Amino acid sequence: MDEIDYILRNFKTIATVGFSRDPKKPSHYVPKFLLERGYKVIPVNPTAEEILGLKSYKSIKEVPERIELVQIFRPSSEVKGIFGEIRERVKEKGDVKAVWLQEGIRDDEVAEEARKLGLLFVQDRCMYKEYLKRYR
């Protein structure tokens, strides 16, 4: 089983940073697709109170429930800052096990740092497309 298979099979609670309210955007329909497949998706969007009837949090730090995977739909330039919150959370709660940067989003320095922390890390890949490749 490769890293992507392992993540898709084993981590069912996903905090989605940048979950959009706009149904036309991948940052809306990808997490919605995952919800429809039985994953628990937690919206993280500072401009939304709720998305798809789910409470939205302003940051990773504010999410009270356990997170296994952080999915990021923000520009590559914002990844370092988001990862700073993930790193703090890992040290405090130890719950995050993986980070997934959606298609078009990369940060090799953060990837290296995440792996040093023991996190699985995927970048520049679409969870929707990877799911369909494997479980269609």
pLDDT tens-place string over residues 40-52: 999 999 999 999 9
- Burial of 72 per CB tally in 10 Å (0-12, 13-18, 19+): buried
Q: How many domains does the chain have?
A: 1
The per-residue b/e assignment along 37-49, b for 16 or more CB within 10 angstroms, e otherwise, is: eebebbbbbeebe
Is there a contact between 15 and 71 (Cβ–Cβ < 8 Å)? yes
* pLDDT above 80 (res 1): no
CATH number of the CATH domain containing 22: 3.40.50.720
Domain that holds residue 97: 3-135
Backbone angles phi, psi at 101, to 5 degrees: -95, 125
pTM of the model: 0.96
